[in-house]
Amino acid sequence: MSRLRLLPSLPVLTSLTLLAALPPAAPAAEAAWQPPQYRVLRAAIAPQIDGQLDDPAWFAAPHAGDFVFTWWKQGPREQTRAKLLWDDEYLYIGVICQDAHITARHTERDSKIPEDDCFELMIAPDAAKPEIYFNIEFNVLGGILDNFRPNGPKQPRAPKWDAEGVKIAGRYTGTLNQDADTDQSWQVEVAIPWKNFAAVMGRPPRPGAAMNINFNRHGGKTNPQYSQWSRADTPQPSFHTPERFGRATLTDEPSPFGPAR
């Protein structure tokens, strides 16, 4: 079962830490595309899944970099800051999303989460099997939509797959579903047990293990945009392009630091 704790405000320190230096986004040229890389630090102390993103491990972890707006046509390009951490039990996701008009209504599992402002992790947990991947999508209310593609994007998805034991908490600065005012951001903190990917990974997570991943954002009533960490190569919006995922590598580097010597 998911565990949700929702709080309606954002501490100043967290906002400054994760939203600082957000540049105005600009279209990126395709040119010679190279998959982005991310080194996943090991959480020295597991973060508390409360949506605050103020744990020392999050503070020290690098963010993945600017998102690209692959199919942009018009409207403000609102940026995203995403981070990952790991330990023996969980893969952790911390994300803060710039958003002037936050939409979030759905909380039922596998409901119409894409209608809300939402964030999605796509993960091929074994980089040697890039066509076998999972997608886990969520909004600030803790609503989750997830599934499994055991045979790649061109074949039917699994009839039913729900990640078990997911912990999730969200916060926002602004108001939900009220476009008359201007909001600032929403953020979500998630812990996904590795056991959900065990059949594909074949072994417990370890330093040096490589995964193919992508982060995506879309949905919302006002100024809906499609943005992502690693640029897809389709003329129309489609996130199911595992050949264009980036690469995340688990490291033994602790965050924020290891034992004193």
Q: Which pLDDT does position 30 carry in this prediction? A: 53
Q: Assess whether pLDDT exceeds 90 at residue 234.
A: no
**Residue 74 CB coordination number (10 Å):** 7
Q: pLDDT tens, 65-91?
A: 999 998 888 889 999 999 999 999 999
Ordered structural domains, the chain, with CATH: 6-19+35-235+242-255 (2.60.40.1190)
Q: pLDDT tens, 154-181?
A: 787 888 899 999 999 999 999 999 999 9
Main-chain phi, psi angles of 150, to 5 degrees = -75, -15
Would you mind telling me the total number of residues written for the chain in this entry? 261
Whether pTM > 0.85 for this model: the answer is yes
Q: pLDDT tens, 90-130?
A: 999 999 999 999 999 999 999 999 999 999 999 999 999 99
Residue with tokens 């939900």: 176
Query: Which residues does 39 contact at the CB level (< 8 Å), separation at least 6?
Result: 62, 248, 249, 251, 253
Which of 10-14, 51-55, 67-71, 93-97 is the least confident region? Answer: 10-14
In what helix (H) or strand (E) does residue 86 lie, and over which residues does it extend?
strand 80-86
